[in-house]
Amino acid sequence: MCMQRSLWERCIEFHGHSCPVLAIGYRAGEFALSRLGVRYSEDEEIVCVSENDACCVDAIQVITGCTLGKGNLIYHDRGKLAFTFFKRGSDKKFRIVFKRKINWMEEDRDAIQNYILQADFFDLFEVKEPSFELPEKALIFQSYDCEICGERTAENRVRLQDGKKVCLDCYKEYTRGW
């Protein structure tokens, strides 16, 4: 691998420290750009669906330009070191899953990190077809004042309760006890 040292340093600076899981995101992000044939997502040209909220996601953001704020980084909590990438306006899409079994608590972190940064990509990751289609572009929603706490809330997160528009924090969900 021909690692771009300055890009790795930018990932570390953004994240706050270097670690093996940041290295996983670094490798995934570099592979994604190469496979999609792009350099960086200025808007929503690239979409990444991350199945985790771990350190690797910070590197994905720095390298690909996929961010929560732009709406092209979507968090789909599955607890897996897996990412699905799409290139809008094309049929390019793929899912990459970290497959290397590592005992994170017992192995030397620096050695693991160096291995991840230098190993052949396909020794670390499996590339698969996505099981879902490209998510729609991010929408901008109207906001409403919660009629209990008064805080502004996007309309797709407002609930009706006792005839009032309320935010999710104030909403009392009806569950019948289970």
* Residue pLDDT, tens place only, 118-170: 999 999 999 999 998 888 888 889 999 999 999 999 999 999 999 999 999 99
DSSP string, the chain: ----HHHHHHHHHHHSS--HHHHHHHHHHHHHHHHHT-S--SSSSEEEEES--STHHHHHHHHH---TTTT-EEE---SSSEEEEEETTSS-EEEEEE-----TTTS-HHHHHHHHHHS-HHHHEEEE--SSPPPPPP----EEE-TTT--EEEGGG-EEETTEEE-TTT-----TT-
pLDDT of 107 = 80
pLDDT of 52 = 97
pTM of the model: 0.83
The mean pLDDT value of the chain amounts to 93
Q: What angle do CA 28, 65, 44 make, to 5 degrees?
A: 110
**What does the pLDDT average to over 91-95?**
97
The percent of residues in the chain predicted with pLDDT above 90, rounded, is 83
CA 73, distance to chain mean position in Å, is: 5
Confidence of residue 102 (pLDDT cuts 50, 70, 90): confident
- In the predicted model, is pLDDT for residue 82 greater than 90? yes
CA 91, distance to chain mean position in Å, is: 20
pLDDT of 100 = 79
Residue given tokens 């004042």 in the structure block: 145
CA distance 117 to 119: 6
Cα dist from 158 to 24, 34, 46, 151, 176, whole Å = 37, 40, 29, 11, 21
Q: Which domains can be identified in the chain, with CATH numbers?
A: 5-128 (3.30.1330.130), 139-178 (3.30.60.20)
Confidence of residue 1 (pLDDT cuts 50, 70, 90): very low
Residues 6+ apart with CB under 8 A from 88: 44, 45, 46, 47, 134, 137
pLDDT of 30 = 97
- In the predicted model, is pLDDT for residue 15 greater than 80? yes
* Beta-bridge partner residues of 98: 125
**What does the pLDDT average to over 84-99?**
96
pLDDT of 72 = 96
